[in-house]
């Protein structure tokens, strides 16, 4: 069994765009920007032996506001720039009542089966309450990257952090793994 870090995409790995207090994904490849420290943090987690599995809701496809081709192009760009092992996408909207759309754990449990992941020794990092609920339902420890839109009052993450980098540092400390560069963490 392998350990994994499940990651939300928009607002955790790459920038999202907040309009009217609501986060939105990039609409085109030119809008994709990696969050500060994300590349280095993912590299450290990968070096420590964690699978890096992205789980992302992309309901704008079902709503007709985005194409699946653009979402896949963005995912491919991220996978080419970062040490990501796999990406699961839910293209459904709330009304579809699917098993894969977070806050349901379907994407996490599906990837866990595919990659033979030990969920009890794995983590979910997200920036919204739905990410935390999905992680809890899957049986992983959870990190909420606190953002103004996170709805943190609607969930109980194991950890509240300011960034993916902060979450990675905690995971590496919990696992008693030294960073690859040999520096000790506070």
Query: Catalytic positions, please?
Result: 8, 10
The secondary structure of residue 23, as a DSSP letter, is E
Q: Go through 38-49 and write b for each residue having 16 or more CB atoms within 10 A of its CB, e for each that does not.
A: bbebbbbbbebe
Closest CA to 81 of 5, 159, 143, 29: 29
The secondary structure of residue 29, as a DSSP letter, is G
Give the up-direction half-sphere exposure of residue 35: CA atoms within 13 A in the CB hemisphere. Answer: 22
* Measured distance CA(92)–CA(107) in Å, rounded: 12
Angle (CA) 173 178 180, round 5° = 135
Alpha-carbon dihedral angle through residues 137, 123, 6, 98, given to the nearest 10 degrees = 0
């Amino acid at each position: 069994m392998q350990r994994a870090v499940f990651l939300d995409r928009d607002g955790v790995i790459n920038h999202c765009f907040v309009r009217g207090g609501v986060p939105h994904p990039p609409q085109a490849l030119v809008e994709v920007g990696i969050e500060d420290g994300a590349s280095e943090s993912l590299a450290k987690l990968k070096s420590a032996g964690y699978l890096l599995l992205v789980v992302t809701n992309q309901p704008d496809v079902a709503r007709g506001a985005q194409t699946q081709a653009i979402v896949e192009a963005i995912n491919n760009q991220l996978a080419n720039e970062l040490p990501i092992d796999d990406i699961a996408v839910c293209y459904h909207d709330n009304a579809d009542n699917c098993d894969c759309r977070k806050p349901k754990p379907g994407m996490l449990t599906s990837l866990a089966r595919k990659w033979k992941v030990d969920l009890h020794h794995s983590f979910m990092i997200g920036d919204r309450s739905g990410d935390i609920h999905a992680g809890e339902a899957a049986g992983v420890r959870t990190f909420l990257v606190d953002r103004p839109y996170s709805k943190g009052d609607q969930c109980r993450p194991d950890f509240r952090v300011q960034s993916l980098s902060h979450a990675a540092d905690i995971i590496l400390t919990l696992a008693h793994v030294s960073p690859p560069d040999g520096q000790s963490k506070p």
